[in-house]
Amino acid sequence: MLYNSTQDKTAVVSAAQAISQGISKDGGLFVPQEIPHYSEADFKSLLQEDYKGRAKKVFSDFLTDFTAEEIDDCVTKAYTAQKFGGDNPAPMTYTSLNGKSLNILELWHGPTCAFKDMALQILPHLLTKSLKKTCDGKDAVILVATSGDTGKAALEGFKDVEHTKIIVFYPVNGVSPMQKHQMNTQEGANVKVCAIEGNFDDAQTGVKKIFTTTEVSDKLEENNMLFSSANSINWGRLLPQIVYYISAYCDMVNDGKIAFGDKINVVVPTGNFGNILASYYASLMGLPVNKFICASNANNVLTDFIKTGVYDKNRQFYTTISPSMDILVSSNLERLLYMICGNDDTVVRDWMTALKTEGKYEVSDDVKAVVTEKFYGGFCDDTRTKATIQKLYAEKNYLCDTHTAVAVNVYEQYVDATGDNTPAVIASTASPYKFSKAVLEAVAPDAELPASEFEIVDKLNALTGVDVPAPLAGLKDKTSRFSDVIKADEMQDYVLGALSIK
Ligand SMILES: *Cc1c(COP(=O)(O)O)cnc(C)c1O
């Protein structure tokens, strides 16, 4: 199977090249040229498999330049019971709220307690094998822009991985204290973490710019290095996310929650549009999805886009209690639009150019019609997010994080507006303890708020009895290694300095 750029169809690469490079030189994203389709028999056989078996099947159908042994090796090393706290790294929890069933897909049992681990525990294995196939002997420099969770998950995945170096940029005031502490205490000889004065979009734009600046990539080339990406612009990030939607469906069938062949809805708290796009790919492969419910926080650029067909990032940026979704440029939307407009690279390039120059584009009526038919967009502000956490905890004793609460709230809005009772899989993307302050304020509004992050964690734990994930509890005693803060326009210089090739 081959891949090409969304902005230049003639930029054709293998899977290994797509993963090594991360992004196409023209600035477009790599997409598969065909999508495998699973028959009823295929799905039936996946019902019998465990998570790793399901992952191997999906990976082997997309990564046709990898051998079965290579895929086996990647999957086996990534999804260990030790790293994910059990044999199923993505277990379902069934609960309900106000009479609405909530089928919660818990994606945060990995080493950094956010769903990013599902992809970033396997990406380093995919990448080192890809590098070997495409440019043996070179070192990959992973540049990451993060709104909090990707950074830590990527650091943890890539720490001390041979032939890789990783540099993470995060918005100085845009991540939770726990996220900051997780990143700044990161161990490993090949890692670097730096804050930037700006928001996530500034960090992402900066990284994309470094990637596509020829003079920088030439410099790396001279030094036997190349850039790669661990953001969801990398196909190697998206592919692992397809697996858990298929796996969730199989689990729900096996658990007797749905009958084989039943349709489901999918609800995803969305930022960069990677997670929800993965569910869309799963549906193109044959997974019976009725509606994709795209949940945003106050940064509701996607809600408006799904309603109007106009993507307009010229608006107030809000810092919210669900910081991993504080994003105004959702990069992976580009992949969706490419597919929906019939693989028209010219039109996608025009829209993305307009986004860059005017901060805005409008899709054609045909494309808009498909988007509104398949997707529902909704949003939820911080007050309602907290109310949702409180209600779910009070009614069902289920403690969810702020991002998951946005999804639950938007799902309620959707059912109230449409009456659609199709069983819905709700992606739960982080442990509540990553956002302890907001979660504590939600469940105990009158409680006194302790000064330090770890006291807040302890208080939330004492109050709810919900276990603190071991990787977060263990951070308490770690010392900070990184404290750099720079301006967004200093990122390029910083990278060259960090690599000692200025
Ligand atoms: C990254 C992240 C999201 C957003 O996911 P996208 O794939 O960027 O849409 C939502 N919730 C949490 C906790 C995250 O870390």
CA dist 223 to 138, 217, 493, Å? 9, 10, 16
Distance 300 CA to ligand 1 centre (A): 14
CA 126, 130, 136, 137 dihedral sign is negative
Distance 196 CA to ligand 1 centre (A): 20
Asked: is 78-113+236-434 a CATH 3.40.50.1100 domain? The reply is yes
pLDDT value at residue 305: 98
pLDDT value at residue 479: 92
pLDDT value at residue 119: 97
pLDDT value at residue 304: 98
Task: Tell me which of 52, 56, 57, 116 is the catalytic residue.
Answer: 116
Distance 272 CA to ligand 1 centre (A): 7
Closest atom of ligand 1 relative to the 401 alpha carbon:
13
Pocket test for ligand 1, best of 325, 408, 431 (most atoms within 8 A of CB): 325
What is the rounded CA–CA span in Å between residue 446 and residue 430? 24
| Residue closest by Cα to atom 1 of ligand 1 | 324
pLDDT value at residue 275: 98
Phi, psi of 430 (to 5 degrees): -155, 160
Q: Answer yes or no: 209 catalytic.
A: no
Residue with tokens 């909090």: 148
- List of the chain residues with pLDDT < 70: none
Listed by start position, the domains of the chain span 78-113+236-434
pLDDT value at residue 276: 98
What order do you get walking across the sheet with 225-229 strand by strand?
Answer: 225-229, 139-145, 164-171, 191-197, 485-487
Residue with tokens 């470094």: 210
pLDDT value at residue 502: 82
Q: What lines the ligand 1 site, CB under 6 Å?
A: 114, 116, 149, 232, 269-275, 324-325, 403, 429-430
Whether 401 contacts 439, CB under 8 Å: yes
Distance 271 CA to ligand 1 centre (A): 5
Closest atom of ligand 1 relative to the 272 alpha carbon:
8
3-state secondary structure (DSSP) of residue 442: helix
Q: Nearest-CA neighbor of 472 among 428, 431, 500?
A: 431
Pocket test for ligand 1, best of 29, 335, 429 (most atoms within 8 A of CB): 429
